[in-house]
Structure 1
Amino acid sequence: MCGIFFSLTAAENPLLLDDNLRYLLTKRGPDEGSYSIGVRGASLDLFNHEGSGRLWLSFASTVLAMRGDDIVRQPLTDSGKTGSILAWNGDAWKIDGQPIPDKNDTEIVFNNLLQATTRDYPSEDYTEVPHSAQKVAEAISKITGPFAFVFYDAVNFKLYFGRDCLGRRSLLWGVDDAGNLKICSLCDGSSPSTYFQEVEADGIYMVEFQDDQDAALEPTPTPGHLRFDVQKITKIPWSHETLSTYHMISPIPLMNKATPEGIPPPLTTTSSIVSELEHRLRQSLVLRIQNVRQPPIPGESNVKIAVLFSGGLDCTLLARLAHDVLPAEETIDLLNVAFENPRVVAAATKGLEPPSSAYESCPDRITGRAAFAELQHVCPTRNWRFVAIDIPYVVTVTHRDTIKRLMRPHNTEMDLSIACALYFASRGQGTAIDSQRSDSKPSPYKTPARVLLSGLGADELFAGYARHGMAFSRNGFDGLIDEIDLDVSRLGKRNLGRDNRVIAHWGREARFPFLDEDFVSWVVQIPVWEKCGFGVPESPPTDTGIESEKKTLRLLALNLGLSNVAREKKRAIQFGSRTAKMEKGKVKGTDALT
């Protein structure tokens, strides 16, 4: 996980990082930080001003080294050659369909972009490339994996920035009060920002400069009255068909909206779709957990992977499959968070709830321990480490301003509830029990794992929310398909940028096997009655108690020995960990924070 900062200004001096933002970006990328400034003469019509003057392009990057043998300093600069610059935060699992699991992807991506923007890179003929924007778009579209980037093409005088088609990495942009363009992994102010917004995951964005070398030698116009013109930003969209203008072909096809003719066949543990699901999910998982770098954090050297673990279906399924992929000697950490909710504690003291530990009575702690026991039973040769992360109310309050800062521009009660749970879970600090030690007692522990597996995406793809059942009740298969399509289309906007900003604060990287492009492409193309059990005949008696939501995933869990987990009901993270409604009961998730 890396931190990115970029600014474009026509002011007298370059616009650099302030100390607070630099600190937060360094938390995202603690291994290496480097800072560079590119200066280019260009037309000031970008700033609603006639005439020319100096533009300052400033880059800063911090690096969390996850792949390859060496740490690659960022931003990457093609010094002495083209002068182009790349700030990259991503994992290119494949490029043009070819896996690159054992190499550092940043340099590969940069070289591909340089080839797209020069006639004959790496020769000395660095002249402009006709249609370079389309070539850059094609280079970006060949990348499979989560990413956010800012790329300055110094040969063709263009700036590009964007996120992957699912929006799995954070990138924000805006024009500040002084009229300067900023692009960053995080909001740059401690108070709610009025100008930063998520970079949409609907394409990449381009700013074109006019080649004006002499302009860099002229005096800078009086600062203070120049504002970046946002109309000068061009979107190069993801598309499902070839367009006559700049575009990228989306790796995610359109949703299969076919409805069954008559009653669809029953879903059972022997259905071919269940075995196909297992095969494809394993493929996605292998890319994300094999060949992970040894974490430099002090701690046990045999822990590289941890799971954000509520004990629910999605995360436990990933843990179970990870057991089949990872070496037998590697411990897998299960990070389970529970909060002291003062309203729940007050209710218990009044006798409204049975007295128990504020943490052990949390729904996610109960399901987490039950799933931990089931994993031990099914996979007894693996050392599973259950990390109980107990967060007192006073600790929640102490960190709340930091969490609110990280999740911006999201600013609702629900955002805060979810962000709190992810923030403390990804910190990975609590008390641990090892499954391989019969005499194991809880002891203080902080996971050294830098890769955190998350089950996010399963609910959206396989109809795991209550509203999916409601949509089917109202409008049958058509309503269900439309609801799933809506969920998939807004993943980047609703969840992923916010979650990335919160989790990455601890120098860890969340990976989402359910959101692999190849996996998502397969799921959206299979018919809806092969994803869930709505409108499908009842299963045989051996499959009783299997809910319609995410039925295919539940049947896979059954096949893998997770009988109890397969029957676990969906529970939102903010209610399972009890981060919701800590102070007031009558509050809506959509209410804005004050």
Structure 2
Amino acid sequence: MCGIFCSISEKSSDDVASELHGTLKTLLHNRGPDVQHTLAIDNLLLAGNVLWQQGATPQQQPIVNEHLVLLFNGDLYNLEAEKEATQSDSTWLMEQLIKCHTEDELLSLFRRLEGPYCLMLYNSLEKVLYFCRDALGRNSLIIEREESQSIRLLSTSCHLQQTAAMELPPLGLYKLQLDALQSCVLHPWQELNEEKTQQLQQLDVAMGWRTNVACPIAPEWLSSTSSSTVSSSYDLYALVAAAADLQQQQLYEHLLSLEPLQRTLQEFAARLQQSVAQRVQQTAPVCGSCIHRDKCCEHAKICVLFSGGIDCSILALLADRFVPPNEPIELINVAFERVATAAATSAGDELLWQVPDRQTAEQSHRELQRLCPHRQWQLLEVNVSREELQQQLKCHIHRLIYPLQTVLDECLGSAFWFAANAKANGDQSHARVALLGSGADELFGGYTRHRNAHRRGGNEALQLELERDWQRIPARNLARDDRVIADCGKTARAPFIEERVAQFVRSLTPQQRCCYTLPEGVGDKLLLRLYGYSLGLRDAVLLKKRAIQFGSRIADKRQQANQISEYLRLDKLQI
């Protein structure tokens, strides 16, 4: 993970250097503590802060090759036949960019890139800046415009007065001519629907320019058809109805014995396992604590943000297959101090932290120990007092959540930051990669609103709800989660939100993914629960969906999720 920064000004590059002020430097350095470099060219100021994850050694950024300058933040996958394992993604990408002599060749390159990333590419001959976030918006890139007309693109920011700011909509590849900042060109990933058109209009208003939409890039994986050879013709509702007299465990075993389900799960398993393998193997050989030490690092390189639910338990089991057997895997669970009652006070302080997610994490931790007894599972139980929560929100976390402002953003952003920062009973997390279960609910129908949509209008209404959730997932969570986790020197990786995994699951009908005639904790995400059961999980497959803000007890149920947070209000924020 990296912290990248670009400032475009009508002033000279010497004058613009002051825009990278102390607080912002610190935030960017937190994201990329291993190598830092700054470059002033024309009327641009570019800065790269690198967290070493790929390649034999850290690669300094920006990367310059004649008239091209590249800032890259992210990971590229499914390039095994093209890229050496000892080469960093940013170095490989620059080599490919050099070969692009026309814009069509550039678009062709972007058409085949897969993985979470954002980038900026400057062509000093043509005075053109290209920038983008990947089509799923997994990495953060904020765009800002000051009244002085300067424009900034940066991984993370903090509030400045008289600044319009928003998360850059991940709509495609943007092209900006530096001598004509009143207009922009967009090559969209795919044809813009109504919601994406609205996002583009909001960007135009905030930036004071007009965007002209050009030909789409159209990556193959974004098509509605799957590349799978599996022909799935089952209906979970019919299969469940035919086995209505079976108990739950018997039902799972019966469903797993059916050939159509077996074929589907085999295909899904192959894709998810590859996604997990790439995300745990593509990391530096040392942790952050040992990077400057001449010794073998025996600390954990991988952690799982761990509520104990089905999503993260599956990821932990799969990570065990690909992490070296002598390395521990961290399971990080966060709990926020419960409001003390008379019963809790008499029972002692320990009860203050026995929130729902703590209990399920401990339960699922025992399951992992049973299934993988030779792995050293390090359960880090992070306890956060209300005083510490308020202090960190006021002094630091609010900057990472910016430019978002809601109570929900406050709760989720704080929970992920304390988990990624992970200080537990004197232990400190060493991992540089954090696996998240993000995307599983959107793909497999895990939210209550999915069940309600099915109740209102059957599979057609459910399909619309699933598609709506999938289309808005970049704006809802991903960039914010990237900012707060990367601030702790970790790269957030979400194996479910992977091009080939998502393409396959979305090619299945709703009735092939979930079954709401079964109760909560059974029928929602049924296909995923069946996969977890096939891996040996028994307790985790029966847990109901529980949002982290309630499972960790950070949320105040008296507040509305979409209210403006008092800690995040722009009129109160200070640098």
Taking a change above 3 Å as real, the CA distance of residues 236 and 264 of structure 1, as seen in their structure-2 partners, is farther
After superposition, what is the alpha-carbon deviation per residue over 1:514-560, rounded to whole angstroms, capped at 9, x for unaligned? 0111111111112222211236xx7xxxxx98511111111111111
> Which residue does the alignment assign to 2:462?
480
The alpha-carbon deviation at position 404 of structure 1 amounts to: 1.1
CA distance in structure 2 between the aligned counterparts of 1:177 and 1:353, rounded to whole angstroms:
58
Taking a change above 3 Å as real, the CA distance of residues 516 and 351 of structure 1, as seen in their structure-2 partners, is closer
> Which residue does the alignment assign to 1:366?
359
- Residue aligned with 1:501, SS: helix
CA distance in structure 1 between the aligned counterparts of 2:343 and 2:21, rounded to whole angstroms:
49
> Which residue does the alignment assign to 2:97?
113
Of 64, 84, 89, which aligns to 1:77? 64
CA distance in structure 1 between the aligned counterparts of 2:237 and 2:381, rounded to whole angstroms:
45
Contact 2:191 2:216 (C-alpha < 8 Å) held by counterparts: no
> Which residue does the alignment assign to 1:169?
139
The alpha-carbon deviation at position 208 of structure 1 amounts to: 2.3
> Which residue does the alignment assign to 1:122?
none
> Which residue does the alignment assign to 1:395?
388
Task: Decide which structure has greater helix share.
Answer: 2
Q: Is the aligned partner of 1:525 residue 2:507?
A: yes
Q: Is the aligned partner of 1:140 residue 2:140?
A: no
What TM-score do the two structures reach when normalised by structure 2?
0.84
> Which residue does the alignment assign to 1:233?
184
CA distance in structure 2 between the aligned counterparts of 1:167 and 1:373, rounded to whole angstroms:
35
Contact 1:95 1:142 (C-alpha < 8 Å) held by counterparts: no
Q: Is the aligned partner of 1:64 residue 2:61?
A: no
Q: How does 1:103-502 map to 2 (within 5 A)?
A: 103-116=87-100, 118=101, 129=102, 132=103, 134-189=104-159, 194-209=163-178, 229=181, 231-239=182-190, 245-250=214-219, 251-254=221-224, 264-266=238-240, 268-270=255-257, 271-272=261-262, 273-298=264-289, 301-341=298-338, 344-345=339-340, 348-349=341-342, 357-401=350-394, 402-431=396-425, 444-502=426-484
> Which residue does the alignment assign to 1:580?
555
Contact 2:337 2:353 (C-alpha < 8 Å) held by counterparts: no
Taking a change above 3 Å as real, the CA distance of residues 294 and 264 of structure 1, as seen in their structure-2 partners, is same
Contact 1:86 1:151 (C-alpha < 8 Å) held by counterparts: yes
Taking a change above 3 Å as real, the CA distance of residues 446 and 306 of structure 1, as seen in their structure-2 partners, is same
The alpha-carbon deviation at position 394 of structure 1 amounts to: 1.5
The alpha-carbon deviation at position 11 of structure 1 amounts to: 2.3
Identity %: 30
The alpha-carbon deviation at position 449 of structure 1 amounts to: 0.8
- Residue aligned with 2:453, SS: helix
For the aligned residue pairs, the C-alpha RMSD in angstroms reads 2.7
Q: Is the aligned partner of 1:570 residue 2:545?
A: yes
The alpha-carbon deviation at position 324 of structure 1 amounts to: 2.0
- Residue aligned with 1:168, SS: coil
Contact 1:187 1:196 (C-alpha < 8 Å) held by counterparts: no
Taking a change above 3 Å as real, the CA distance of residues 358 and 415 of structure 1, as seen in their structure-2 partners, is farther
CA distance in structure 1 between the aligned counterparts of 2:546 and 2:59, rounded to whole angstroms:
41
Taking a change above 3 Å as real, the CA distance of residues 255 and 501 of structure 1, as seen in their structure-2 partners, is farther
Q: Which moved more, 1:472-481 or 1:398-407?
A: 398-407
CA distance in structure 1 between the aligned counterparts of 2:565 and 2:35, rounded to whole angstroms:
35
- Residue aligned with 2:320, SS: helix
CA distance in structure 2 between the aligned counterparts of 1:319 and 1:353, rounded to whole angstroms:
36
> Which residue does the alignment assign to 1:49?
none
Residue type at the aligned position of 2:172: G
Q: How does 1:555-566 map to 2 (within 5 A)?
A: 555-566=530-541
CA distance in structure 2 between the aligned counterparts of 1:428 and 1:261, rounded to whole angstroms:
43
> Which residue does the alignment assign to 1:506?
488
Taking a change above 3 Å as real, the CA distance of residues 364 and 351 of structure 1, as seen in their structure-2 partners, is closer
What TM-score do the two structures reach when normalised by structure 1?
0.81
- Residue aligned with 2:515, SS: coil
The alpha-carbon deviation at position 35 of structure 1 amounts to: 0.2
- Residue aligned with 1:411, SS: coil
The alpha-carbon deviation at position 278 of structure 1 amounts to: 1.9
> Which residue does the alignment assign to 1:3?
3
Contact 1:306 1:449 (C-alpha < 8 Å) held by counterparts: yes
> Which residue does the alignment assign to 1:590?
562
Taking a change above 3 Å as real, the CA distance of residues 262 and 525 of structure 1, as seen in their structure-2 partners, is closer
Taking a change above 3 Å as real, the CA distance of residues 196 and 284 of structure 1, as seen in their structure-2 partners, is same
Q: Which moved more, 1:296-305 or 1:350-359?
A: 350-359
Q: Which one has a bigger Cα radius of gyration? A: 1
| Unmatched 5+ stretches in structure 2 | 193-212, 227-231, 241-251, 291-296, 567-575
The alpha-carbon deviation at position 240 of structure 1 amounts to: 6.3
- Residue aligned with 1:14, SS: helix
| Unmatched 5+ stretches in structure 1 | 40-55, 119-128, 211-227, 432-443, 539-543
The alpha-carbon deviation at position 463 of structure 1 amounts to: 0.5
Of 29, 37, 48, which aligns to 1:34? 37
- Residue aligned with 2:164, SS: coil
Residue type at the aligned position of 2:215: Y
Contact 1:14 1:57 (C-alpha < 8 Å) held by counterparts: no
The alpha-carbon deviation at position 491 of structure 1 amounts to: 1.1
